[in-house]
Amino acid sequence: MLKNIKKILGVVGGVLVILGVFLPILNLGLFGKYSYFNLSVNGKIVFALAIISIILSLFGRFFFLIITSVGIFSVFAYDVWKFFKLKKNLTGFIQKFEQKNPNNILIKLVKSAFQSFDVGWGWIFIVLGAFILLILFFVHIFEKKLSASQIIQK
């Protein structure tokens, strides 16, 4: 019974990650909203890891969910770090350019467009799904240790 619940939760975690990959993850204001799948190859890697997680869950191989969940977290964290680093560098560039040309209408337009750049809400699904997969791994390990200690006590 518990194994079926774990399988269902594994599928739910994988599906949440897949939803997060296809939902808007980056809002670029005037330039539109973009999903993680369309932004880079890393979105496709996270998608593949989610599919692998679903397959592992369906076959009851919960031990290997540590690889897929940490992989999802790692790839996603790298891209988030890269985005915020780029945003910081562009902010510095715009500020320097604005200091040299304070009355330039083009820089004011670029600045207002850049300030509308934001992170979308698809990341919530990615993090939540990967977290469920990681918890399933730890539940599986805990069950193994618990059953092993019960066998030793008998």
Tell me the Ramachandran region of residue 121: left when phi exceeds 0, alpha when psi lies from -120 to 50, beta otherwise: alpha
In a domain, 83, yes or no: no
The pTM of this model reads 0.84
In a domain, 94, yes or no: no
In a domain, 81, yes or no: no
CB atoms within 10 A of CB 132: 22
In a domain, 127, yes or no: yes
Measure CA of the first residue to CA of the last residue in the chain; give whole Å: 24
- pLDDT level of residue 146 (50, 70, 90 thresholds): confident
Please say whether the beta carbons of 19 and 43 come within 8 A: no
Lowest mean pLDDT among 9-23, 24-38, 47-61, 106-120: 106-120
**Percent of the chain predicted with pLDDT > 90:** 53
Q: What is the number of structural domains in the chain? A: 1
Give the pLDDT score at 109.
76
In order of 66, 106, 119, 141, the CA distances from 29 in angstroms are 36, 17, 10, 45
**Burial letters for 26-42: b for 16+ Cβ neighbours within 10 Å, e otherwise?**
beeeeeebbbbbeeeeb
9, burial (CB in 10 Å: exposed 0-12, middle 13-18, buried 19+): middle
Task: Quote the DSSP letter at residue 33.
Answer: E
CA–CA separation, 27 vs 7, rounded Å?
34
Tokens of 153: 């006590």
Please say whether the beta carbons of 61 and 51 come within 8 A: no
Quote the domain boundaries for residue 36.
2-76+119-153
Structure confidence by residue, pLDDT tens digits, 87-144? 888 888 878 877 887 777 777 777 777 777 777 889 999 999 999 999 999 999 998 8
Type of residue at 15 = V
Residue 152 has pLDDT above 70, yes or no: no
Mean pLDDT of all residues in the chain? Answer: 87
Mean pLDDT of 75-84: 91
